[in-house]
Amino acid sequence: MNPGEIGKLRPNLPTAVDNRPGARLELPSPYRVPVSWIRTHAPAVIRWRTVRDVLPAGAATDAVVEALKAEVLQQKEVLRLMKKQKGTGTWGDNILGVAPSKAQGIKDVGTVAAYRRLVEMGVGPDQRAFRLADRVLYRLLSRDEDPALLFEFQRAAKGVPELAQWARAIMRQGATAALAHAGYVEDPRVRGAAHRTASDVSNFLRSELAEKPFVRKGAKTVLHPEAQPPTLFSVATVSYMPSLQRERAGFVDRLAQFLAHPAPKKAWAIQVGRKTVHPQYHLLGDPLQADSSGHPKDLALSLHWIELLIRLGALKSSPTASRILARLLEECDANGVWNPKNLRTLPKSPSKLADFAFPIDTDGKTPESRQAEITFRLAHLAKLAGSTLEFV
């Protein structure tokens, strides 16, 4: 099929679609989606995600949909990820790694990040890579005490039962977030794990520890041993599960209020038994930073976090996220194409926490290819937020 035809709209496609009246947030409505521009300039992954996640059902023919799916599976990044997966279903011999780390003995990105990257790239759940990985992720949910399931924590947790328990808990959260992200939101195992995590976080938010989460340990500031604050995993899990949000609306409101506060600036650690752990995923407030003009310090994390907040209906509670989103929208032209000044390359993420989600096109060499992903992301956010979409 001619690439120019991929994602082509049916002639009778409506020019505007309402999604969730009354649920609109701070995005323009109607929001102009430059479908023709995306069809011409975007890589296959972005064209497929636009058809699947932005355009109304039936906008593309079955033949176009199948052609796009096939093209995505031939992308270099997809082939690379599938090749790197081990027969055990894991990536990088670890679960939580976001980048190689000599200190932690992590040689490559871990299973949760690699799995979620395939989800973000629009790879279907019928692929063998997911079937293999699902076995491992569900074993982590099952509280299986097999020492091999400690993965990257095996050596550090030897003889330290507190660390083993802590590691299993955070890996279970990562597995739950990955499975929820992949769409298994009604699976009873995922729902059970999500509710257990939500209960732990809810108890923390209701306690005095939410305001005073730290204790002194010698010269160090450490998290109180009974504190169980939200993590990037637990927030993601709740955001992908609308039914859980409806069932625990009060908890979602408290969570949004807590995450709107500025995060502590002082350095702190997690004391687990006699080990000290760096708080990579734990959240004690707003994880985003931006300058006075709204330019984010971490674009990848900002885009991911804004999506999570919109899914939670909590964007308005976060001044930083709202400011960053406003800046990105200001950089769009009249047709919705993201067109900032001096775009020579996409900025790298200092935290790497959302590298699984952005950029999903790593082969783009032209300015248009670099513009395409955020153009799609903003349109997707507008749809999630309930804006009326106008296709141009």
Q: How many helices (H) and strands (E) does the chain have?
A: 15, 7
Radius of gyration of the chain (CA): 21
Task: For residue 339, count CB atoms less than 10 angstroms from its CB and return exposed for 0-12, middle for 13-18, buried for 19 or more.
Answer: middle
Which SS3 state, helix, strand or coil, does residue 212 take? coil
Residue whose entry in the numeric block shows the structure tokens 């091999």? 148
Cis peptide leading into 30, omega within 30 of 0? yes
Q: Where are the alpha helices (DSSP H) in the chain?
A: 35-41, 44-53, 62-73, 76-84, 111-120, 128-141, 154-157, 161-181, 188-206, 232-239, 242-247, 249-260, 299-312, 319-330, 367-384
The structural domains of the chain, with segments of one domain joined by +, span 1-75+288-392
> What's phi and psi for 348, nearest 5 deg?
-85, 150
The answer to whether residues 300 and 357 touch, using CB atoms and an 8 Å cutoff, is yes
- For residue 343, what are the β-bridge partners? none
**For residues 54 and 18, what is the distance between their CA atoms, to the nearest angstrom?**
12
- Distance, CA of 55 to chain centre: 21
Local structure of residue 101 (DSSP, 8 states): B
How many CB atoms neighbour CB 138 within 10 A? 17
DSSP assignment, residue 151? G
5: three-class secondary structure by DSSP: helix
Q: Within 13 Å, how many C-alpha atoms sit on residue 45's CB side?
A: 28
- The CA–CA distances, whole Å, from 43 to 7, 40, 140, 369 equal 11, 9, 35, 7
Name the residue among 63, 122, 16 with its Cα closest to residue 357.
122
Q: Are 169 and 150 in contact (CB under 8 A)?
A: no
DSSP 209: G
Bridge partner list, 32:
390
Integer Cα distance of 12 and 207 in angstroms: 55
Provide the residue-wise pLDDT of the chain in tens; the chain has 392 residues: 343 444 444 434 444 444 433 333 468 889 999 999 999 999 999 999 999 999 999 999 999 999 999 999 999 999 999 999 999 999 999 999 998 776 666 778 999 999 999 999 999 999 999 999 999 999 999 988 899 999 999 999 999 999 999 999 999 999 999 999 999 999 999 999 999 999 999 999 999 999 999 999 988 999 999 999 999 999 999 999 999 999 999 999 999 999 999 999 999 999 999 999 999 999 999 999 999 999 999 999 999 999 999 999 999 999 999 999 999 999 999 999 999 988 888 889 999 999 999 999 877 778 888 899 999 999 999 999 999 999 99
Residue 114 near residue 356 (C-beta atoms within 8 A): yes
Distant-in-sequence, close-in-space partners of 352: CB < 8 Å, separation ≥ 6: 98, 99, 300
Taking alpha carbons only, the member of 249, 255, 276, 165 closest to residue 210 is 255
